[in-house]
């Protein structure tokens, strides 16, 4: 039954199967890493730390991110001139 199939077809099938397995493994690994990632977890409130302090920390992070984005944008604009 399978004797009439050329060798190159078998190799194409093997490479395709390896790609499917690899993609599945990659997506599974990323999901597992996402479960254990510190960035994905909600910030834990310590005993003496209030919600307002967390808001300040988050605002500080956002402002740092804005400054970084602005610098990157200015750099790219200067590069194109």
Q: Where are the alpha helices (DSSP H) in the chain?
A: 7-36, 51-80
Using the structure block, give the residue that is written with the tokens 């004797």.
3
In a domain? residue 42: no
Q: At residue 19, does pLDDT exceed 90? A: yes
Query: What mean pLDDT is reported for the chain?
Result: 82
Q: How far apart are the first and last CA of the chain?
A: 66
Residues 29 and 56 in one domain: no
Residue 55 to residue 64: CA distance in whole angstroms: 14
In a domain? residue 22: yes
In a domain? residue 67: yes
Among 37-41, 49-53, 70-74, name the one with the lowest average pLDDT.
Answer: 37-41
Q: What is the pLDDT of residues 33-42, one digit of tens each?
A: 888 887 655 5
In a domain? residue 45: no
In a domain? residue 3: yes
In a domain? residue 56: yes
Residues 30 and 57 in one domain: no
39 sits in which H/E element: none
68 lies in which domain range? 52-81
Residues 28 and 59 in one domain: no
């Amino acid at each position: 039954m399978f004797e009439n199939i050329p060798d190159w077809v078998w190799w194409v099938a093997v490479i395709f199967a390896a790609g499917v397995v690899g993609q599945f493994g990659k997506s599974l690994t990323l999901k597992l890493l996402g479960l254990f990632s510190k960035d994905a977890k909600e910030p834990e409130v310590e005993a003496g730390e209030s919600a307002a302090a967390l808001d300040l920390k988050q605002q500080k992070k956002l402002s740092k991110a804005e400054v970084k984005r602005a610098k990157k944008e200015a750099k790219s604009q200067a590069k194109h001139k």
